[in-house]
Structure formats: C-alpha cells, structure tokens
Amino acid sequence: LGPLLFLIFINDLPNCCPLGKFRIFADDTNVFFHCKNSDELILIGKTIMIELNSWFTANKMTLNTDKTSFTIFKTNRLIIPNLPDHIEFLNCKINRSTEIKFLGLILDENLTWDQHITVICNKLKSLFHIFYNIRNFLSEQDIRTIYYSLIYSRIKYGINLYGQAAKKLKLNKFKHYKINFLKYSPAKTTASQLMNSTKNLIY
C-alpha cells in the first residue's frame, strides 16, 4: 500500500513544471528538456529546480541531492563549449553524470550504448560457472529453457534501442560462445552452424 500511496501523492508533480517532460516509474523520477546551448541549459535547469523546490515545499518534502544528477545527451561529434559539471541548488550541487540508469537501460551521454552492452556481457559471464556445473545433466529442452530465461531475456530487453550500437558485435560473439559451450560444439564452429544446431532458438 505504501508505494501506491506514494505514486498517488506525487501524481501531480509534472504539473508544477511545464518546461520539462516527466517520466515517473515507481520512485524513480526523470525530467527531460532540450536546449540550444550551455547558457540556455543552465537557465532552464535552474528554473526547473526552482519550480520543483516550490512543489516539494508545498508538499512538505525535500529533494535528496545526493541521489540527484543530470546528464547532457548529445552526439559524439558535437562539441559544446562551457558545459557545466554541476548546477547550484539551495546551496547544494547537482552534479553532472556521464551516464544514467533508466528503466534498466544504461544511457551514456553520447548514446553509444557501450556501457550498457558491457554490463550485459558481465552479467552473462557471471552465469558461466552455473552452466559449467550443470551442462552434463541438461537435455536439449533444458538448454533452451536456460537460454531464454537467463540469456535471451537479458539481451532482448531494449534491443530495439541499442541494437545498432557498435559494440553489439561483442555481445553476439559472447552469446554464440555461451551456446557453443552448452552444446559441446568444436571451438571453430561458425555462428550459422551453431544456429542450425539450435533450430528453435531465436537470436
């Protein structure tokens, strides 16, 4: 009941700040806005913080500045001079972060998805010892079940966003290696041969 009441309590939060687009999920709140230069960025950012503070004060709440940060999204080739590394707010600093976690996705400031793919690969690597210990007792159906629940589900989430990233090749190689290991296939087995041997697996 507590989380539900909290969501009801902050339901009108987006109405206090017309300059930003709010995305609220559970207790995670994000505010997005766009601007043309660093001066406008600082101005709009401070304006939004002032409006949020007015809402917090009216509702007898405070902002946890230690868990608050901002990220500037831009293309890798775009050079913006005088980008701030923090924004002043009530004698506190809201620090700039080069990446954020948004609904399970790691968004870096250039949207390269490199860090997100690295995290996925690290999570899959952590499962390797489990597969090593149980693969001798697995049937083909068991392999498919494990693949879909522990590997495919992690890779598929958000792939429509990060699927074109440069480091996706790294993820594909790791995924094929994992299935290769489960299938006891020769080390030089190609990806196409591996797909044929795991007929019903979706890549």
Closest CA to 174 of 114, 124, 129: 124
Q: Can you give the pLDDT at residue 166?
A: 60
Domain ranges in the chain? 2-98, 112-197
pTM above 0.75, yes or no: no
Residues 6+ apart with CB under 8 A from 69: 94, 95, 96, 97, 100
Q: How far is CA 177 from the centre of its chain?
A: 24
Q: Can you give the pLDDT at residue 121?
A: 83
Q: Can you give the pLDDT at residue 176?
A: 59
Q: Phi then psi for 124, rounded to 5 degrees?
A: -70, -35
119 touches 173 (CB < 8 A): no
Kindly list the averaged pLDDT for each block of 10 residues, start to end, along the chain of length 203. Answer: 76 86 84 84 86 88 84 80 78 86 88 87 79 74 80 85 69 60 52 50 47
Q: How far is CA 165 from the centre of its chain?
A: 14
Q: Can you give the pLDDT at residue 194?
A: 45
Closest CA to 51 of 74, 27, 72, 22: 22
Tokens of 55: 């809402």
